[in-house]
Structure formats: C-alpha cells, structure tokens
Amino acid sequence: ELLDAGVNRSPSAYLNNPASERSKYKYDVDKEMTLLKFVDDEWGPVGSFNWFATHATSMG
C-alpha cells in the first residue's frame, strides 16, 4: 500500500456510490502498487518495473 501517494479528485462523487459498493474497499482510491523486481543470483538486484495508478489531479 502506498499511503499519501494520491487523492480522490471527487470524494463527494465517490460517496454517491451505494454503501454496498463502497464497503468493498478500504479507501476511496486504489493504494496498491505492483513491483516486478529482477535479481541476479550473483549480482543481486539488477532492475525493476512498477505500476501505480494515479490521476493528474493528484499531482496538484
């Protein structure tokens, strides 16, 4: 989980979703990041890719 990495651009709109839908999620935005790490047996970490969804409005 990446906390404080993005914001919901319209929390009031999110609250218009049914409570049954909102209760499926801990936050009003996706806080999950996926990391694919490449490690060489001899040299250790050699690279990585990561994915984290964010909207431009989260950047200011």
- Residues within the annotated binding site for Zn(2+)? 55
Cα torsion 9, 56, 48, 29 to 10°: value is 10
Alpha helices in 4-47 (DSSP H): 11-14, 19-22
What one-character DSSP code corresponds to residue 23?
Answer: T
- Residues within the annotated binding site? 55
